[in-house]
Amino acid sequence: MSIDKTFYNNVLKNMFADPCEVTYWDGDVKKYGEGEIQFRINFTEPIPKSEIISDPSLAFGEGYMHKKVDIDGAVQKVIESIYNNQSSFLYEKKNYVRFAKMLSNTLRKSKDDVQFHYDIGNDFYRLWLDESMTYSCAYFESPEDSLFQAQKNKVNHILRKLNLRPGQTLLDIGCGWGELILTAAKNYQVKAVGITLSSEQYSRVSERIKEEDLEDLVEVQQLDFRELKDRTFDRVVSVGMIEHVGRENLDGYFSAVKSFLNEGGISLLHCITGYDEASGTNSWIDKYIFPGGYIPAVNELVSLIVENKFYLIDLESLREHYTRTLEHWAQNFEQALPEIRKMKDDTFIRMWRLYLNSCAASFHCGNIDVHQFLFTKGANNNLPLTRQYMYE
């Protein structure tokens, strides 16, 4: 056996929790694990050992993108098999964790990072998101809910938690394509402001405000939350945005929310979370999908809420809701491939297939979670005594 094959054999025999078959670049076939084969891995050429040793997630991710390695079977299940084997060397993230802590998300870098991911074309996202163009975890009140219904459920779930009243003011930090602020204005008659760093999102939200004749109730601005000055609100919400601010700016986010909120005001933070500092760190994701991203640990966010003198009144996990959401997106993505191929090359397609499926696997295996934190500025004694109001 060659040196390369010996190295690969030692790596792969301990990588997966399930039996699999590997076909090497020279046609040699090896089975790893006992029992019925669950999937097959095919190498068309070797990935350099130095790259695997230096950064296995990046090496195998790029290997898949560039067709050095292919998968015969469900991509999500293959990645779950890696995650379910905690003795796999792919769990070693210490070097990247140290590197991630050194990154600084300046205003310029934050804008560039957000636009890197979100400004790749509304037409692209429209092909596989639901009709509302909601790009965050949905809320499935029933397993039979469509993705569109589940996204409507999520928006309504958040708005009920905020206990909105007509005439109140609402700020949405990182408003996406505007579904939440538009729904809040229409259903609760609140005055809503959305901010985003994405040019594509800003353009579409502006169009929707005019299309739905909501100029008197809704406005959108393209700016960083750190640039919003001299305005206060009764409610502040943020869905899937804080993951972009960077570790060093987390306290600044909560300080900003405190300055935005009126006394007694309510804020809801909906975000991906981890259970330790390495939960959400991945160099492949950082390079190709979400540059500058940082997934905070639950205890990290709770500590910051307390340190900033907020009252934490509710905390809810929606982890398996995000698994279902991503599975819907991945299925929609595959069904839209004829149209996607007209605008994106094969490397991009394989990159996004890997991204959607690896995220679904990560949530399903519990590597990462998604939580909604509900907190108030000062003691708000006007909220209902039970959580029942969140479901009525």
The catalytic residues are 359
- Check: CB of residue 205 under 8 Å from CB of residue 178: yes
Instruction: Write the DSSP symbol of residue 297.
Output: B
- Where b means 16+ CB within 10 Å and e means fewer, 275-305 reads eebbbbbbbbbbebbbbbbbbbbbebbbebb
Look-up of token digits 């590597």: 367
Structural tokens at position 176: 């996406």
d(CA 208, CA 199): 14
Structural tokens at position 41: 């891995």
3-state secondary structure of 136: coil
d(CA 385, CA 235): 19
- Kindly list the distances between the CA atom of residue 221 and the CA atoms of 114, 195, 205, 244, in Å, as whole numbers in the listed order: 15, 5, 9, 18
Alpha helices in the chain (DSSP H): 3-12, 49-54, 56-65, 75-83, 94-102, 107-118, 122-126, 147-161, 179-188, 199-211, 250-260, 283-288, 298-307, 319-335, 337-340, 346-364
CB neighbour list of residue 225: distance below 8 Å, 6 or more residues apart: 173, 174, 195, 253, 256
3-state secondary structure of 342: coil
- Check: CB of residue 46 under 8 Å from CB of residue 274: no
Structural tokens at position 335: 């069904």
